[in-house]
Amino acid sequence: MSNEITQVKGCEFTTDELQRFHHYYKYDWAAAGLVSAPVGKRIQHFVETVDPGIDSNRLQEWLHTMGIVDESEKSEQARLYERFENFDFAAAVGFNQMLADVYATDDVSKHGVGERMDQAKAQYYSDNIEPLVYSEYKEYKEVNAPKPVCPYQDLWDPKGADKESADTNKFANVRTIDIAKLLDPDNVDVLTIGAINLFIDAAKTAYDQKYFAVAVVNSRCNGPEPMFLPALSSTGDCPATLKAAMRLQIELRNLNKTKPLVFFANGVVDTSTLGILMSTVDIVTSEMFCVSIGSVSQSSQKFPLSALYDWAHLSNHQAKVSKGTAEYIMCSPDLVLRSAEWSTLGLGIGFVSHRKFASGMEQILLAASCPPPHTRDALRKACAVESVYSGPSKINVWEQEISKYFAPLADGKTVLELADELRAVKAPWAEKYVVFANAKESNNVAKARVAGMQRVRGMEYSQALALELSAAIAWTAGTTEETKLFSRNIPSLSD
């Protein structure tokens, strides 16, 4: 696709003018020492040193059209509204008390919430900072809104460009736990027992009444494959690490009973730490989120039994899922769960695109600053406002096959019986399962997962977690036969 600017009907400027004006807009003013210079001085420099043929009057007209004006040309009214728009309401003492009214209705449209939020901000600003009338502000914005006469505006001024990271420190009523700050600086690719204990300590501080909500983030989620929650360390005292991870899950679930716990999972989550993530359903993801849960993945073969209780009780979550869906997921050789699948399973509350994730997070955290008992409702409505469609789910298209072949696994059918049945299907997707059934490692993973889910379905959470711990310790010690994994004495999590 060509990047050349061409003319379209309705544009007031010629193709040549637009090309020159965009060149002006993208000019490196820092190199010229004019970053803070008035518009007039910039135009003078550009005409004298870069493009003598440009019409400075037409350029200034175009800048006005785009809402770019010299500071000296702004009216006092414009300056007032600019101060209002730049005011940091997240750090404003008492503003969070007004948020309950913003999210009090069932209207969670972006327009509806946005208007109520602007009204609340205007009221607070007028009462505490300087006089401002919301109706006059709204009328001014409508009259002075930039006119969409440039059809190429997205080429030089992309809408929705986000900041690099969210400023979580300004939300005094939200306890933010940054995973990046918990990890061992010399070993950031794994979650060590030391990092887990720091996580537990951080969670315990969140019970303080000054915190209305808890947010788990990872400030190092950057790059093409950002890691949000890394794998459990498999070196050293592995049983101790597993036990610490279980204690963390219990701590997070207990915390979530007292106040909202939200994970902003803008990256990869390792299969071994899924139980930590699934301590809450208030999970916001982006297109960077994924979990390689397939039984052939390296992590699945090291720690195959993470979050057994959650998978066994998948139907208890917000979405309606077909019987056998958990078995389908647990037995899939190479399945990667992304945001679309996560949402379909009812395991999350929102999807925000990666390029808008930081600003979306700040809007949600502002809502999470709403005092109890309205905090969780405000947070979830803010998620709904900021969320967009995450795309089609890979699981939905297999509902018929799930009901026919995988649902019986929940009632006692074995993985080997499933493989025998699929051999007769003669379809590429079925052949994939037959191949994995013949591979010892992935076969053992699937059998252990199915047997584990069958066992924990009749248990309460702490009992199921203790069984998962016992089986996980046995697995890391070399036991892979499902009958031996789940027939041992169940240890205490407090030992």
| pLDDT value of position 164 | 73
Q: Do residue 214 and residue 327 come from a single domain?
A: yes
Of 55, 72, 89, the residue that ends a domain is 72
| pLDDT value of position 10 | 52
| Helix orientation angle between 461-476 and 238-258, rounded to the nearest 10 degrees | 160
Q: Do residue 247 and residue 336 come from a single domain?
A: yes
Asked which of 107-121, 156-170, 357-371, 428-442 is least confident by mean pLDDT, the reply is: 156-170
Asked which of 112-116, 300-304, 437-441, 482-486 is least confident by mean pLDDT, the reply is: 437-441
Q: Which residues contact 24 (CB under 8 A, 6 or more apart)?
A: 43, 46, 50, 51, 54, 59
Q: Do residue 81 and residue 197 come from a single domain?
A: no
Residue 174 has pLDDT above 90, yes or no: yes
Encode pLDDT of 97-147 as tens digits: 999 999 988 888 888 999 999 999 999 999 999 999 999 999 998 887 755
**Mean pLDDT, all residues of the chain:** 88
Tell whether 82 is covered by a domain. yes
Q: Strands of 227-229's sheet, edge to edge?
A: 227-229, 268-269, 290-292, 336-338
Of 156, 190, 213, the residue that ends a domain is 156
Asked which of 152-161, 178-187, 217-226, 332-341 is least confident by mean pLDDT, the reply is: 152-161
Tell whether 459 is covered by a domain. yes
Q: Do residue 60 and residue 78 come from a single domain?
A: no
Q: Do residue 270 and residue 401 come from a single domain?
A: yes
User: In which band, very low, low, confident or very high, does the pLDDT at 300 lie, cut at 50, 70 and 90?
Assistant: confident
Tell whether 163 is covered by a domain. no
- The tokens for 295 are 């039984």
Q: Do residue 309 and residue 423 come from a single domain?
A: yes
Q: Which domain holds residue 100?
A: 74-156
| pLDDT value of position 313 | 92
- C-alpha–C-alpha distance, residues 270 and 428, integer Å: 28
Cβ atoms of 351 and 284 closer than 8 Å: yes
| pLDDT value of position 2 | 41
| pLDDT value of position 60 | 83
- C-alpha–C-alpha distance, residues 287 and 353, integer Å: 6
Tell whether 190 is covered by a domain. yes
Tell whether 1 is covered by a domain. no
Q: Do residue 80 and residue 215 come from a single domain?
A: no
Asked which of 16-30, 108-122, 172-186 is least confident by mean pLDDT, the reply is: 16-30
CA angle, 366 then 254 then 185, to 5°: 70
Question: What distance separates the 2 farthest-apart alpha carbons in the chain?
Answer: 86
Q: Do residue 133 and residue 183 come from a single domain?
A: no
Q: Do residue 259 and residue 391 come from a single domain?
A: yes
Q: Do residue 450 and residue 365 come from a single domain?
A: yes
Encode pLDDT of 193-203 as tens digits: 999 999 999 99
User: In which band, very low, low, confident or very high, does the pLDDT at 8 lie, cut at 50, 70 and 90?
Assistant: very low
Encode pLDDT of 224-262 as tens digits: 789 999 999 988 889 999 999 999 999 999 999 999 999
Of 156, 179, 194, the residue that ends a domain is 156
Cβ atoms of 78 and 71 closer than 8 Å: no
Model's pTM, two decimal places?
A: 0.82
Q: Do residue 260 and residue 113 come from a single domain?
A: no
Tell whether 7 is covered by a domain. no
Tell whether 495 is covered by a domain. no
Domain total of the chain: 3
Sign of the C-alpha dihedral computed for residues 46, 52, 57 and 61 taken in this order: negative
Other C-beta atoms closer than 10 Å to the C-beta of 181 total: 15
- Phi, psi (degrees; rounded to nearest 5) at 284: -110, 125
Q: Which residues contact 189 (CB under 8 A, 6 or more apart)?
A: 227, 230, 231
CATH number reported for the structural domain that contains residue 277 in this entry: 3.90.226.10
- Phi, psi (degrees; rounded to nearest 5) at 161: -60, 130
Cβ atoms of 309 and 464 closer than 8 Å: yes
Q: Do residue 422 and residue 336 come from a single domain?
A: yes
Cβ atoms of 378 and 213 closer than 8 Å: no
Tell whether 492 is covered by a domain. no
Nearest to 171 by CA among 200, 212, 203, 220: 212
